[in-house]
Homo-oligomer: A and B are copies of this chain.
Amino acid sequence: MLKQMMAERGRKVRLAAGEFVFHQGDGDESVYGVERGLLKAFYTQPDGREFIKSIVPAGAFIASLNALVGNGECTFSLAAIEDCELLALPYRELRGAASEDLEIARDLIGLLAELASRKERREYQLLCMSAEERYELFLEESGGNPDWLSQADLAAYLGITPQALSRIKRRRRERKQIRGS
């Protein structure tokens, strides 16, 4: 089983909030499983702007697919939002184990399908929904405005600036006022 293999052969990684697992441009070919904590995977633009690709909670797996499939560089950075414990396993090992063990292969197939499915949802949101709709969806899915994410990070996740997010919140407040009066 895959989780078991991660636990047995994986390298334990602990890091404090703010520390990086890998940086954009690195050649990190490991797959990481999050045991505890919270991370953000984000792109940094040449001009310094930051866009958060995904928030990575405990229980999730993450890797830079570009680094895995083509031995390329990581296209994004991975950093801890809270203190974290991870398990790291080189993808080569995982693939190697999957080529000898049908159980592990099955798990890896399920994992990759899950991953692609989540990416498909994110892709849909970015392509079809406005920033305000994405914000509303985020509120629903996370159950109210979370304390574990700064406005700057939330804005970067939505693909806008903190100022634009502030405006969206104000518009919603004002609309609710009108409804409530």
Contacts and interface: CB of A to CB of B under 8 A. Distances in A.
Each complex incorporates copies of this chain amounting to 2
A7 interface: no
B69 A113 contact: yes
Contacts of A119: 116, 119-120, 123
Given A105-B105, A112-B113, A123 B53 contact: yes
**Contact residues of A: prevailing secondary structure:** helix
Contacts of A76: 124
A167 interface: no
A1 to B, nearest CB: 14
B112 A75 contact: no
A51 B127 CA distance: 7
